[in-house]
Amino acid sequence: MKNDPTGPGAAAALQIRDATPDDLDGLVALETLCFEADRVSRRSFRKLIESTTSNCRVATRAGAIVGYTLLLYRAGTGLARLYSIAVHPGERKSGIGALLVADAERQAFDRDRVVLRLEVREDNQPAVRLYQRLGYRRIGRYLHYYADKTDALRFEKRLRGAEIAATLVPYYEQTADFTCGACCVMMALAHFKPDYRLGPVEEIRIWREATTVFLMSGIGGCDPHGIAVAAAHEGLAAAVHVNREGSLFLDSVRDPEKQRVMALAQEDFRNQAASYAIPILREPLGTDGMRAALATGALIIVLVSAYRMFGKKIPHWILVVGDDGRHFITHDPWVEDRELESHADAASLPIPYAEFERMARYGRDGLRAAIVLTKR
């Protein structure tokens, strides 16, 4: 997040409201005045003002824009992210920064978000002190995050309920559109095997071990049995929960030859699963079962529909790493760059139980699949 915070003080006659397209000139002028790099473009401002998954708020005095905030919301989750905040240089130390942050927290709270996250330049100590004073806790660092290679510090604040316990499971962002399942296996391996090295070579290798060969019109995605076999091959204990027998995802492709190859590849996965003595349970793993598994130290790779988060009717794998009593805490390997997301939007992502139940199924027949992983 870019930051131009202010110190304590009164901000008299200040109004904070939703931005409109009529504010674009003022927003671009303020952005240019406050930042030399990493600027939000006019086109991005317009898109964010009109989007249902973002919220741009402006602070005005006597009709002039003197500050703004940009909030991003990942659909279907309990997370909000303060992507950017700026205050006019002439208004610094008037308290506007603190008022804008408080307003952002209210906006996120009203959307039923449980946590607000942000990034700040490590060398911006006034901003760091402000966030600490407002109750934000540091949760990490991004190396070389900004255009000038300055590191970013990550902060978050719990808006309702107890704090989310920090997860020890490393996060890894997928580098290809089709490797979400492989990346979930890699994150689990890095957790259970601290010397395991995360990287794109391992990502593609594990994907090759677990892929169905074809999926829809593109490169293949991962099959639950293939994921379990790949994890077992790397030394983890795995159990598969799937509510259908036989081959999966065949209705995603029309070409009979592709369907035939997919069915053969998945038959091989099932045979390999049997050779590894991987349990195949023909019932879905519901909320209670997931919570019980997590309580024993397991991690769970779950098939979800990307539609509820991204509006895309495609299968997607995410890793469930924790449970706070109301939400499953997940690592989603997909970072939606086109929506200005960063790891802060995809790692340790709280998803309410009810929303997770709706999300954790795919296709018209409601395919449900999960792989429970533990240390062997």
Q: C-alpha distances in angstroms, 129 versus 45, 176, 187, 188, 320?
A: 28, 38, 33, 35, 33
The pLDDT of residue 159: 93
What's the rounded Cα separation, in Å, for the pair 74 and 311? Answer: 11
Which conformational region is residue 277 in: left (phi greater than 0), alpha (psi within -120 to 50 degrees), or beta? left
259 pLDDT higher than 50: yes
- What would the mean pLDDT of 259-284 be, rounded to a whole number? 93
What's the rounded Cα separation, in Å, for the pair 348 and 18? Answer: 29
- Compute the mean pLDDT over every residue in the chain, rounded to the nearest whole number: 90
Q: In which band, very low, low, confident or very high, does the pLDDT at 166 lie, cut at 50, 70 and 90?
A: low
The pLDDT of residue 17: 96
274 pLDDT higher than 60: yes
Contact criterion met (CB below 8 Å) for 58 and 103: no
44 pLDDT higher than 50: yes
Please list, in sequence order, all residues whose beta carbon lies within 8 angstroms of the beta carbon of residue 199, skipping any fewer than 6 positions away.
none
The pLDDT of residue 94: 84
What's the rounded Cα separation, in Å, for the pair 324 and 161? Answer: 9
What's the rounded Cα separation, in Å, for the pair 341 and 30? Answer: 22
Q: In which band, very low, low, confident or very high, does the pLDDT at 212 lie, cut at 50, 70 and 90?
A: confident
The pLDDT of residue 140: 87
217 pLDDT higher than 70: no
What pTM did the predictor assign? 0.87
203 pLDDT higher than 70: yes
139 pLDDT higher than 80: yes
pLDDT digits (tens, 9 = 90+) for 225-237: 999 999 999 999 9
The pLDDT of residue 168: 86
SS3 category, 68: strand
- What would the mean pLDDT of 198-205 be, rounded to a whole number? 96
What's the rounded Cα separation, in Å, for the pair 51 and 207? Answer: 34
5 pLDDT higher than 60: no
**Residue 201 host element (H or E):** helix 200-210
Secondary structure letter of residue 338 according to DSSP: G
Kindly state the percentage of the chain with pLDDT values over 70.
93
311 pLDDT higher than 50: yes
pLDDT digits (tens, 9 = 90+) for 81-128: 999 999 999 888 889 999 999 999 999 999 999 999 999 999 999 899
Beta-strand ranges (E) seen in the chain are 14-18, 54-61, 64-73, 79-87, 115-121, 137-142, 152-158, 214-215, 218-219, 236-242, 280-281, 299-305, 315-323, 327-331, 349-352, 369-375
More confident: 6 or 341: 341
- What would the mean pLDDT of 120-137 be, rounded to a whole number? 93
Contact criterion met (CB below 8 Å) for 216 and 315: no
Candidate from 30-34, 182-186, 252-256 with smallest mean pLDDT: 252-256
